[in-house]
Amino acid sequence: MSAAIVTQQPQVEPVDTWKEAQYLICELTIELNVPNFTVRDLLQLDKKSVVDTRCKQAVNLPLNVNGQGLAWVEFEVLGDRLAVRLMELI
């Protein structure tokens, strides 16, 4: 009869797990599709041009972190700034 050796892994608090990584820079991107945008439209862009996205204000857009989907967001205006509100985590 052989005895099984059981070793317990030390429990690590979640905060400690991310402690060293929490200050790493990550890139957030929001994908906004502009249907039927052509090279001609691109060439006509100038300072202060406005691009009609044909997108409703309250539409959910994908928020990516380092290229990986994280959430669905909506644009929101905060004073003179454009912000996003997280609507759903993926």
- Give me the CATH code for the 25-32+55-90 domain, please: 2.30.330.10
So what's the pLDDT on residue 1? 54
Give mean pLDDT, residues 17-36.
88
Structural domain boundaries in the chain: 25-32+55-90
- CA-wise closest residue to 71 among 79, 84, 62: 62
So what's the pLDDT on residue 33? 86
pTM, full prediction: 0.65
When pLDDT is cut at 50, 70 and 90, the band that residue 65 belongs to is: very high
Neighbours of 71 (CB within 10 A): 19
